[in-house]
Structure 1
Amino acid sequence: MINVGIVGGAGYTAGELIRILIHHPQVKISFIQSSSQAGLEVCSTHTDLVGNVDMLFAKDVDYNEADVLFLCMGHGRSKSFVDAIPTSFEGNIIDLSNDFRLNEDADGFVYGLPECNKEAIAKANKIANPGCFATAIQLALLPLANAALLNEVHIHAITGSTGAGQAPSATTHFSWRNNNASVYKSFSHQHLGEIGETMQQLQPGFRHDINFVPMRGNFPRGILASVYLDCDLSEEEALKLYNEYYSDQPFTHMVKSSPDVKQVVNTNKALVQVKKHNNKLHIISVIDNLVKGASGQAVQNMNIIYGLDEAMGLQLKSVAF
């Protein structure tokens, strides 16, 4: 059994992580740490876990009780936490923040996008889990970058409100978000850095613009990315390229019909569609931002590190309706 510790246990990603791990046949959750909820029942915060989890949030824990630590803290907090971990800790760390994703900040962490870095993940003991938008967009682009066919890219992508975290804000509370949509961080979203680095890893010398316009949707979870670029490949050639690239990936599936968010919500799946329109290649990618875009991908990375079936504990069904 793999003993797991969760740090920052009160947020959305931690709740999804707990939900997945309690059904993982090779995992025992040793502790769930939360400074803000210490001493309270875990299911008092994650109410969907009533009857499934009989644990209290802990404040002070022995990290050596865990073989792997999942860090679910807010962005900017993981680095100081890692720096303060006792040197006696010899386990693995999977960080779900953006603190270690970029090369200049990596500090020994491997970027945990399995569809690109599986061999490196298998040898790593510290993983920087990708961002949610970054996951959806990269899955739309990896086959092209691997074939050195990327040029200037245009992206419109929409995300559910859970992508902004659990703490309410002016643009996440119900009365503003419901029956509404808005653009934010045009051409400047924080995930552009990690996307660009992965594209350059696969296509050295890639220096084209990645034009990304993110949008807030009036739904809780899920991401749909609509990506297009100039491409000389025919639709048949592009489909062959994508099908071959993803042929051995258990969670990324090529689909013929236009995919929608409900097909992937509550799952670790990514659905990708490729279509050609004149000289434009149009790729649609959909994921659940809390699962494939966060906690599910983190468990996928854990499975790879420990040599388990990559899909273990992640055979989840979408809500569909």
Structure 2
Amino acid sequence: MIKIGIIGGTGFTAGELIRLIIHHPKISIKNIVSQSHTEKLVHLVHQDLLGEKKIKNIKFTRNLSKEIDIVFLCSGHGQSRKELHNISEHIKVIDLSQDFRINIQSIFNNRNFIYGLPEFQKERIKKSNNIANPGCFATAILLAVLPLAKNQLLKKDIHISAITGSTGSGKKLSDTNHFSWRNNNISAYKIFQHQHLQEIEQTIHQIQKNFYSKIYFVPYRGNFSRGIITTLYTDSVLSLEKNQEIYEEYYKNHPFVMISDVNIDMKQVINTNKCILYLIKEKDQLIVISIIDNLIKGASGQAIQNMNLMFNLDETCGLRLKSVRF
């Protein structure tokens, strides 16, 4: 069994990790660290875990055990660098913050972090001991554009709009997380300036080095809890059928990405590690719609997927999840 630890155990991503881990056949939880809830039973914070035998008597601890194989850092942006000072070098790390996603920030404390998008660089992830888990918007957007970049087909600007649920902002309360603000409401934010743009641009340039056009990204806050739906469009001289062939070919060995022949909706992926893509061609524009669950494929599920690869397990182990359709 792979012995795991979690630091920052009370947030949304940690809660999702625990829910996945208790049904993973190859993982055992060694300890879950929380400075604010030390010695409190985990199921009293993540109350949906009440009655789960694997978590029944586990309490949050103040310090990380040294008897673990891998640690998931869920403390939030800016905290992971601080946490690494107290983690033994033999312990593998998957960081769910943005601290190590950009190449110039990826080496820290003798650790070299690999960008953990399996559909981009699965073989490198398998050989790595340190993974920077991608951002949720970045995951949805990159999965919509990777086949084009791989085939050197990005010639013009890319235009993107995407809407995410309230869990995308984390558990810490803010003005735009209040129910009374979110309910029956929607707003754009960080227009053309979202932090995930850096990792999107970096990844595209690694694949298609001659891409010099711009990426225009407009993110929205939605009035729902979880999920991301992204609409991307860019110039394409190829037919819809040829584009579909390119996408099918690119993702044929990636079990969590699928191409739909009919229009898609977000409930198809909620509570799963899937990304579903739908392609449309209008005149000279290729439109790609992408849907993911921001807490699973956009965070904790992708972290488990990366862990499976790092330990030479089946990529889908513990992640064969069905959507909550109704």
Q: Does 1:23 align with 2:23?
A: yes
Distance in 1, matches of 2:158 and 2:259, equals 20
Deviation at 1:166, TM superposition (A): 0.5
Q: Does 1:134 align with 2:143?
A: no
Distance in 2, matches of 1:113 and 1:263, equals 21
Deviation at 1:256, TM superposition (A): 1.1
Deviation at 1:56, TM superposition (A): 0.6
Distance in 2, matches of 1:82 and 1:304, equals 22
Deviation at 1:85, TM superposition (A): 2.4
- In structure 1, the residue matched to 2:290 is 285
- In structure 2, the residue matched to 1:118 is 122
Distance in 2, matches of 1:251 and 1:61, equals 32
TM-score, normalised with respect to structure 1:
0.98
Q: Does 1:61 align with 2:56?
A: no
Give the stretch that moved more between structures: 51-60 or 123-132: 51-60
2:298 is paired with a residue whose SS is helix
Distance in 1, matches of 2:137 and 2:64, equals 33
Q: Does 1:42 align with 2:45?
A: no
1:171 is paired with a residue whose SS is helix
Q: Does 1:271 align with 2:276?
A: yes
2:176 is paired with a residue whose SS is coil
Runs (5+) with no aligned partner, structure 1: none
Task: Show structure 1 runs of 4+ deviating over 3 A.
Answer: none
Runs (5+) with no aligned partner, structure 2: none
TM-score, normalised with respect to structure 2:
0.96
Deviation at 1:79, TM superposition (A): 1.1
- In structure 1, the residue matched to 2:13 is 13
- In structure 2, the residue matched to 1:180 is 185
- Encode CA deviations 1:112-132: one digit per residue, 9 max, x unaligned: 000001010000000000000
Distance in 2, matches of 1:259 and 1:304, equals 29
Distance in 1, matches of 2:15 and 2:59, equals 13
Deviation at 1:238, TM superposition (A): 0.3
- Encode CA deviations 1:16-67: one digit per residue, 9 max, x unaligned: 00000010000000000001111111111111111112211111232x2110
1:257 is paired with a residue whose SS is coil
Distance in 2, matches of 1:61 and 1:130, equals 24
Distance in 2, matches of 1:224 and 1:297, equals 17
- In structure 2, the residue matched to 1:78 is 80
Deviation at 1:205, TM superposition (A): 2.6
- Select which of 174, 177, 198 maps to 1:169: 174
Question: Quick one: which amino acid aligns to residue 36 of structure 1?
Answer: S
- Encode CA deviations 1:139-190: one digit per residue, 9 max, x unaligned: 0000000011113100000000000001111001100000000000000000
Question: Quick one: which amino acid aligns to residue 119 of structure 1?
Answer: E
2:226 is paired with a residue whose SS is coil
2:213 is paired with a residue whose SS is coil
- Encode CA deviations 1:198-251: one digit per residue, 9 max, x unaligned: 101110132211100000000000000000011111101100000000011000
Residue identity over aligned pairs, in percent, reads 53
Deviation at 1:258, TM superposition (A): 1.4
Q: CA RMSD of the aligned region, Å?
A: 0.8
Distance in 1, matches of 2:210 and 2:80, equals 31
Q: Does 1:148 align with 2:148?
A: no
- In structure 2, the residue matched to 1:157 is 162
Distance in 1, matches of 2:86 and 2:49, equals 31
Deviation at 1:269, TM superposition (A): 0.3
